Structure 1
Amino acid sequence: MAKSGIVFESKKLYDNQIPNFITSLLKEKQLQIEVKAIGMLTEFLGNDLERITNEVDKLIASGKIKNNMITADLVEKNIGISKEYNNFELVNALAYRQILKSNRIVEYFGQNKKNIPLVLTISILFNFFTNLLHYHRLADKSQFNVASELGINPFFVKDYVAAAKNYSFAKVVTIIGDIRETDAKSKGFRNASTEDKDLLKELIFKILH
């Protein structure tokens, strides 16, 4: 360890723990944050706690926080994450089976693949539909039990309730298989030329139909 400083190490949190970390971090600073803004930050920054802390500090330093509330608009303008076209919104559109919105987001992804890599989208979709499969199996579907079992914020339980009505247990099993197949193809397995944007379009079509 260098004499001039202290090296701080901490275990990385699981992805589903990041929203609570962000909320707690901001609470210490007497700030609040919109749920949508939490989703945007979680998707964009992952579980890199140092990066999350730095970006939060940048938001505070911008002097643009009003009424002690960090909004999705503020995150979009100061961190560069689109509030309309991101994986958080894609999952939401799929949960409610909003076909037009889903297709618009996928089209945007295809035009911005450097900023929104397919591997990240596949991971997020896999996590959502795996959780949805778990939701279908739960006997107790009360809000707080679902939140506890899935490791999510209670606010998002309503999305799983809606998704369960749109996708049966059998359909979710099929979707998870389709996601795995897309993941394999994106890595070159039985796929020599199909681009990522077309793989995603095909996957979203299979999910919605």
Structure 2
Amino acid sequence: MALIEAQKFYRDLEKGQLTPLYFLFGEEPYLINQSVERFKYAVLTEGAIDFNYSLFYASDADVTVVRDAVETLPMMAPSRLVILKEAQELSDKEWAELESLFENPVDSTVFVITASRVDKRKKQIRTLLDKASCIEFKKPYENQIPSWINYIAQSLGLTISNEAIHLLHKLVGHHLTEIEGELKKLGEYVEGKRRIELQDVAQVVSRSKEENVFDFTKAIGNNDRVTALEHLVQLLDQGQSEMGIVSLVARHVRILLTVKRGLEENLHGAKLAHYAQVPPYFLENYIEQSRLWTMKKLEQTLVVLSETDKALKSSPLSSHIWLENMVLKTCGNQPSMT
């Protein structure tokens, strides 16, 4: 069965047009988890949830119990819902024990399998991709994150200013799960007013993370290799994801590139801030840093960041080496500005 577009998948769930076997995979856990919640509303009837819902995590699940849950008939309802999360943790033997459920899905059960990583060389994965309704959830593009921040805020009953969105994006990065967690904390902080402003984000989001993120991107922007490496270590020690760090640098470099182009077009003040899509509060820092770079070096740095992103995905065990190499290639050795 071919991959299903996410929007069609959402519409089918709303209409109750369900198939017995789903495979949700990809790098964005927030979207996968949100989809699992949607299945609960689409499949389970009120009053019968306790009898017809089973949730398993592959790392500690007995696949025999999982298979029995899938094959059990629903009680006082048309369908059962069985969720198996993080299926990439299954051994080859465990995959083989579930394969009969892929070849012959149980019509009375909606069996949903999720995975953050997929090895399409595996026979069972190929079978699953062929037999199941499959949806891949990719990470949003960097320029989509502000819209996602606004969407998640609205889903929590909050509104958020553009300046607050920009700062939250800069501090937290592009991980939607982390963004949701910070917005929940912000919602508790603003309580009655239900609107998040720039100062609220500055107060609530971890001060140490804020300082290190700002210091790291500032060091990159200032071409300060030593300081950048120091803050890289601090970010990793704090648990900042390697992919998130690359995303932070890429976003900062793209802003510097846009600011530099704007300056070349004689844009200044509010016009330049609007052109670069940054709040006026931060514009002067970006201008100062952009003057330390040539257009060619900024464009070359984006290529380095793209290569680092690919390397991290293919060799995650060497992540620290790739990131250090990224800083070494990015900072320093700037050509003369004269």
Per the alignment, residue 163 of structure 1 pairs with 289
Amino acid at match of 1:174: Q
Q: Which residue of 2 aligns with 1:9?
A: none
Shift of 1:70: 3.7
Separation in 2, partners of 1:196, 1:20: 31
Question: Of residues 308, 312, 315 in structure 2, which corresponds to 1:182?
Answer: 308
**Do the aligned residues in 1 keep the contact of 2:216 with 2:231 (CA within 8 Å)?**
yes
Distance in 1 (CA, whole Å) between partners of 2:274 and 2:204 is: 30
- CA shift, 1:171, in A, is 0.9
Change in 2 beyond 3 A, CA 1:44/1:119:
closer
In structure 2, the gaps of 5 or more residues are 1-13, 15-40, 47-139, 192-198, 333-338
Are residues 1:206 and 2:336 paired?
no
CA distance in 2: counterparts of 1:135 and 1:47, whole angstroms? 30
- Give the distance between the partners of 2:215 and 2:169, measured in 1 at CA: 12
Instruction: Give yes or no for the alignment of 1:150 onto 2:287.
Output: no
Alpha-carbon RMSD across the aligned residues, in angstroms, is 3.8
As a proportion of its length, which structure holds more strand?
2
Q: Report the CA distance between 1:186 and its aligned residue.
A: 1.0
Structure index of larger Rg: 2
Structure 2 counterparts to residues 80-159 of structure 1, below 5 A: 82-86=209-213, 88-112=214-238, 115-138=239-262, 139-159=265-285
TM-score, reference length from structure 2: 0.43
Report if the CA contact (8 A) 1:45-1:52 is conserved. Answer: no
Matches within 5 A, 1:29-48: 39-40=170-171, 42-43=172-173, 46=176
Identity value in percent: 12
**1:83 match: secondary structure:** helix
The number of aligned residues is 179
Per-residue CA deviations over 1:156-207 (Å, capped at 9, x if unaligned) read 212221221211111111111111111111121xxx5861111111111111
Deviation for aligned residue 1:100: 3.6
Q: Residue 166 of structure 1 aligns to a residue in which SS?
A: coil
What SS does structure 1 have at the residue aligned with 2:240? Answer: coil
Q: Does the 8 Å contact 2:260/2:287 carry over to 1?
A: no
Distance 1:186 1:49 in 2: 22
Shift of 1:49: 7.6
Which whole-Å CA distance do the structure 2 matches of 1:193 and 1:160 have between them? Answer: 32
Q: How many Å separate the matches in 2 of 1:181 and 1:127?
A: 15
TM-score calculated relative to the size of structure 1: 0.65
- Deviation digits for residues 125-152 of structure 1, max 9, x if unmatched? 2222123222222203302122211212
User: Structure 1 residues 44 and 129 mapped into 2: Cα distance closer, same or farther (>3 Å)?
Assistant: closer
